[in-house]
Amino acid sequence: MTALAPPAMGLRRGPGYWWHSYRMMVRWELTSLRLLLPVTVMVQILTGAGFVLCLGLFFGQVPPRAALFVSTGVIVVTLVTIGLVLGPQLIAQQKAQQTYDFLWSLPVPRTTAALAWVTTNLIFGLPGMAVALVVALLRYDLDLHVSPAIVPAVLLTLFTGTMIGYAVAHALGNPMLIAAVTQLLIFMVIGFSPINFPADQLPGWLAALHRWLPLAPMADTVRAGLTAGVVEDVTRSYLVLGAWGAASVGVTAAVLGRRG
């Protein structure tokens, strides 16, 4: 009766098993998105470079401060749009096509699935980010001071953005609602957050609100890693951003745990 023998439990835990599952899930994500990958990267590059270039059309003569803000802000936009917009829509699609439950039935730890998605977002986001920065350097005379702080800033921004999208997508049941929320989010990111422009150009109440939302801290931490003397009190930004990251992990864990 070997057919009924339970699987060897020893294999299915521990760092080795986790690492193996993580690699499998990264491959899974990249393979299932292989058709979407080139299109998405192209869109990212076009919008990233587009934002940098269109500022010259908004102003006749672009002020250096505006150029610096949009050039550093657009990096944040390319980093978070996939996690905040594409991610939730993919999950909405899985819910609509009823493959959602299948994905969570895969024999891997759920943390590996989440981290594999963050990794995939990094792979999706980096080309657009790099091209936007190069275009900005070619187009404007930027005063950039790149410091090692850019690495934790980019990683924390990407992680938090992705996990917020993840939490929204898992917590909301209705695919149409997810689509509407993500559309509003992208509108908010591009137009109503102090990412591509300084906070003092927003109305006072909105700027005050953004001190407690994750978007402005994302821009502040990334900008602090690329410039000198532009961002004040970056520690606070890291704390706010970290709190949002932890909260969205908590929401996702609670929702997935309840399902499980």
Partner 1 sequence: MTALAPTALRRGAGYWLVGYRAMLRFDLASSRDWLLTFLIVQVLMGAGMALIYGFYLGDMPSAAATFVATGAPTLATMPLGMALLPGLIAVRKIDDTYDFMWSLPVPRTATAASSFTIFTLLGLPGFAVSLAIAGWRYDLDLRVSLWIVPAVLLASLMSTSVGFGVGHAVPDPTITNVITNFLVFLVLLFSPIAFPIENFPGWLATIHRVLPFWHMANVIRDALTDGLVDFVWRSYLVLGAWTVGTWLLAAWAIRRQR
**211 belongs to the binding site for partner 1 (CB under 8 A):** no
| Contact in structure between 167 and 251 (CB atoms under 8 Å) | yes
Per CB under 8 A, 57 contacts partner 1: yes
Distance CA(94)–CA(97), nearest Å, equals 5
Q: Does 17 bind partner 1 (CB under 8 A)?
A: no
Residues in 60-119 at the binding interface with partner 1, rule: CB under 8 A: 60, 66, 70
Near partner 1 by CB under 8 A: residue from 99, 147, 174, 201: 201
**Which of the stretches 124-132, 195-203, 215-223, 231-239 binds partner 1 when contact is defined by CB under 8 A?**
195-203
**Among 58, 98, 141, 258, which residue sits at the site for partner 1 (rule: CB under 8 A)?**
58
Among the candidate windows 53-61, 94-102, 110-118, 227-235, which touches partner 1 by CB under 8 A? Answer: 53-61
202 is an interface residue for partner 1 by CB under 8 A? yes
- Smallest distance from partner 1 to CB 13, Å: 45
Q: Is residue 127 at the binding interface for partner 1, with CB under 8 A as the rule? A: no
Binding mask 150-189 for partner 1 (x = CB under 8 A): -------------------------------------x--
Q: Which is nearer to partner 1, 11 or 180 (CB)?
A: 180
Binding segment for partner 1 among 18-26, 48-56, 128-136, 246-254 (CB under 8 A)?
A: 48-56
113 vs 255: CA distance, rounded Å: 15
Judge whether 82 and 121 are in contact, CB under 8 Å. Answer: yes
User: Token digits for 18?
Assistant: 């986790």
- Could you give the angle at the alpha carbon of 41 between the alpha carbons of 68 and 192, nearest 5°? 45
Choice between 51 and 166, CB closer to partner 1: 51
Question: Burial letters for 26-63: b for 16+ Cβ neighbours within 10 Å, e otherwise?
Answer: bebbeeebeeebeebbebbbebbbebbbebeeeeeebe
CA 82/CA 80 separation, integer angstroms: 6
- Tell me, what amino acid is at 42? M
The answer to whether residues 107 and 12 touch, using CB atoms and an 8 Å cutoff, is: yes
